A and B are shown apart, each in its own frame.
Chain A
Amino acid sequence: MRPGLLTTVQDHGRHGHQHLGLCPGGAMDPVSLTLANVLVGNAPDDAALEITILGPELVFEEDTLVALSGAEFPGGFPRHRPVLIAAGTKLAIGRAQRGARGYLAVAGGFALEPVLGSRATYLPGRFGGFHGRSLRRGDLLPLRGDVAALSKERFLRLKRGKGRTVRWLVAPLTLPEHEPVVLHAIEGPHCASFDAASQRAFFDATWKIAPESNRMGFRLSGPALVRADGGEILSGPTCLGTVQVPASGAPIALMADHQTTGGYPRIAEIATADVPRLAQIAPGGTVRFARCDLKTAVDLRRDLKARLAPALRAIGWEYGG
């Protein structure tokens, strides 16, 4: 039916190809993708739909067990829990009210061929996922041949299934509470090459996510950052969460489909654990950066894992595991 603003198939990405210039890609918010998958009994890294801000309208041709996690959309559709959708049902997802990216997982995942080890859609290269592109009106997404039987079998395994869903839910872990959203970041390799005012401004200012942000990078608008030493920088490796500053002075945070190397100075690197929280902020939303050391960034990563683990265990228990 309607495709929504940008709906793509994503999983946890393709790894081991950065020496060829290919970024890992995959879900912008892998935490919510994991929850959606596990809620329907899938492996955490199965492919699901990443729904960006404005959701699609979908019709299910067969009985299908689904879960919608991540961003919260209006309407009566039960969120953050498994729902058995009857064949012929139309699901209209609408516009996100909280968060920016929803993940819709279906039992058994999508019957799409992996490309370089992943079903993630890589838009710039036009490969992976559903024909390497975002969904359009009329697309027929292939599910597993036995999806109806698999969905029913899994739903019956749920200890507390009621009607077509359950009465419990798994709280989202990455949705913004209030703005500006505080993100932790370590100093990047070129932080000291910016003038003192710019170094302060980066960690003091409130930054707005600019409209021209996408899966490759989020552009941040705020005070212009100026380098004290304007020397050329040898292009070097970047990573998920790198904040680079082109000559314009407006920083860019590198997201899932980021470039693998770059020649712009890198002022900061956002803690890996906080990147999914950034992914849940739509253009117009605001963030602030809290300076942290490497140890804190690593602790945040452990802390996120420690919060995700009990949720995954609880879902496993509901499925009789």
Chain B
Amino acid sequence: MKPRLLAVVPLGDCGAYVEFSRTLDLEINAFVQRLGAALEADTPPLLRDIVPAFGGLALHFAPEFDGDVLEAARELVERRLKAGVPAAKGAGRLVEVPVCYEPQFALDLKEVSESRNISGEELAALHCAREYRVLMVGFAPGHGYLWGLDPKIAVPRRANPRAEVPAGSVAIANEQTVVYPYAISGGWSVIGRTPLRIFDAARAEPSLFLAGDRVRFHAIDAAEFRRQSEAPA
């Protein structure tokens, strides 16, 4: 199946969103990531950002760009589509994330597991059993939208979002799981915390997650959490 370009729509007056799907389609999502990578290899000077999203690509131009943004975006993408988008190379990078599911970090674990009629240990085990895919990185630095949650532990968003969720918190909602890069407000259920830094501007690769990565979680205890801890306070 070759994904079809649905539309090129304005993203403000300096950007364009090149749309391939309006729903969540894993195959198109993977294609969009490969298309983004192929475009990165040969970007015109005033194209500042190429952002793969769930079903399309955002292209952000500098305000100095004087041409027709929509036309430029369409031309760039169509040229790339004609030349061919490289096939996937292997299964993608695997990122292993240690998580402490103990009560001091797992603020909502009890509530979620009770609502699903399972124990906290079972919930943690189900969260660790699956392999997740990073469909998109966005919202905040390093914030990955990880897809693939076991439907047995899928819960809706919380009615009352927390004003501040600590950095490194691992949370779930619907079919997704996320790791909060910084202490920010959040409406997802927090089931654990990782000692890893999700985004570190000083690292060669600042973001722990990149779109297209595979992710696995594994449980650690509080002592191991402290030992590995590199998350900002």
Q: Give the interface of A toward B (CB within 8 A).
A: 15-22, 24, 115-116, 122, 124-128, 186, 189, 234-242, 259-262, 269-273, 294, 297-298, 300-302, 305
Instruction: Please indicate the chain B residues that have their CB under 8 angstroms from the CB of A300 in the complex.
Output: 13
Q: Which B residues lie within 8 Å of A236 (CB)?
A: 17, 53-54, 56, 58
Select one of B23, B66, B136, B199 contacting A261, CB under 8 A. B136
Interchain Cβ contacts under 8 Å between A and B, 22 examples: A15-B49, A17-B141, A19-B49, A19-B50, A19-B137, A21-B139, A124-B140, A127-B202, A189-B17, A234-B23, A234-B55, A235-B53, A235-B54, A235-B138, A236-B58, A237-B138, A239-B14, A260-B139, A261-B53, A269-B10, A297-B12, A301-B14
Nearest-Cβ distance from residue A119 to partner chain B, whole angstroms: 12
Complex contacts, A262 vs chain B, CB 8 Å: 139
Which B residues form the contact surface with A (CB < 8 A)?
9-15, 17, 22-24, 36, 48-56, 58, 60, 62-64, 66, 69-70, 136-143, 145, 181-182, 184, 199, 201-202, 206-207, 210-211, 232
* Interface contact B10-A21, CB-CB below 8 Å: no
Would you call A294 and B10 a contact (CB within 8 A)? yes
B48 touches A15 (CB 8 A): yes
A116 to B200, CA, bound (A): 10
Complex Cα gap A197–B164 (Å):
35
Once the chains bind, are A21 and B53 in contact (CB under 8 Å)?
A: no
- B138 and A239 contacting across the interface, CB-CB below 8 Å: no
Residue contact A22 to B141, C-beta cutoff 8 Å: yes
**CB-based contact B55/A186 at 8 Å:** no
Cross-chain contact B13 with A294 (CB below 8 angstroms): yes
Distance in angstroms between the alpha carbons of A24 and B36 in the assembled complex: 19
A20 touches B56 (CB 8 A): no
A124–B139 Cα distance when bound, in Å, is 12
In the complex, the answer to whether B10 meets A237 with C-beta atoms within 8 Å is no
Closest B residue by C-beta to A232: B174
Residues of A within 8 A of B184 (CB): 124
Q: How far is it, in angstroms, between the C-alpha of A98 and the C-alpha of B34 when the chains are bound?
A: 49
**Contact A241 B52, beta carbon cutoff 8 Å:** no
Q: Nearest B residue to A124 by beta-carbon distance?
A: B182
